[in-house]
């Protein structure tokens, strides 16, 4: 298995990651494309886009994560656009990637790991809650209000 940051100049891989996100989240593809290109252009601010490939080269999963600074942030590790390809779900990939992200947050001294989950997504919420994440805020989905509320989850690392 090969988990690494996506090279912004690798257009075929960027497109493949966008396709995986497009089948995984209830938001328009144009929104995903915008967010991914912004992330690739400003990784220090937006976090780094990662992907997992199998030994035969299939794209298995993706996630953006990185420490946040400025505008009230103080090195918190934010996770966004985390998805496992539908053909590869229920095989423990998400669990292994979460461990990788948590280990990376500890290694870089982040005070916590945080993310947002739509309230309708009870599967995702369960995954993070079982790993000690708790809700610290609830907000309307800013871009797509029809998606309802999302809960913001945090796991403090210094407790």
Ligand X SMILES: CC(C)(COP(=O)(O)OP(=O)(O)OC[C@H]1O[C@@H](n2cnc3c(N)ncnc32)[C@H](O)[C@@H]1OP(=O)(O)O)[C@@H](O)C(=O)NCCC(=O)NCCS
Phi, psi of 123, deg, nearest 5: -65, -50
* Residue-wise DSSP of 77-88: EEEEEEEE-GGG
Q: C-beta of 99: minimal distance to ligand X in Å?
A: 10
- Residue count (the chain): 159
Separation in Å, CA 48 to CA 65, 129, 138: 5, 24, 25
* Residue span binding ligand X (CB under 6 A) among the ranges 29-37, 105-113, 115-123, 137-145: 115-123
Please select the residue that binds ligand X; options are 1, 5, 95, 149, rule is CB under 6 A.
95
Q: Which two tokens stand for residue 124?
A: 């995702």
90 near ligand X, judged by CB under 6 A: yes
Q: C-beta of 47: minimal distance to ligand X in Å?
A: 14
- Collapse the DSSP code of 74 into the 3-class scheme (helix H, G, I; strand E, B; otherwise coil) and give the result: strand
Please select the residue that binds ligand X; options are 32, 47, 52, 82, rule is CB under 6 A.
82
Binding stretches for ligand X (CB under 6 A): 24-25, 82-84, 89-95, 115, 117, 121, 123-124, 127, 130
């Amino acid at each position: 298995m090969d988990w690494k940051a996506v090279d912004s100049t690798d257009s075929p891989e960027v497109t493949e990651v966008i396709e995986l996100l497009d089948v995984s989240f209830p938001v328009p593809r144009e929104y995903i494309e915008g967010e991914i290109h912004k992330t690739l252009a400003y990784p220090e601010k937006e976090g780094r886009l990662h992907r997992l490939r199998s030994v035969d080269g299939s794209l298995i999963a993706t996630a953006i994560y990185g420490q946040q600074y400025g505008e009230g942030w103080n090195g918190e590790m934010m996770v966004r656009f985390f998805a496992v390809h539908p053909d590869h779900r229920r095989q423990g990939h998400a669990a292994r990637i979460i461990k990788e992200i948590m280990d990376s947050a500890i290694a870089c001294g982040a005070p916590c790991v945080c993310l947002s989950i739509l309230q309708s997504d009870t599967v995702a919420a369960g995954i993070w809650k079982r790993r000690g994440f708790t809700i610290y805020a609830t907000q309307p989905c800013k871009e797509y209000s029809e998606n309802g509320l999302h809960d913001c989850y945090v796991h403090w690392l210094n407790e």
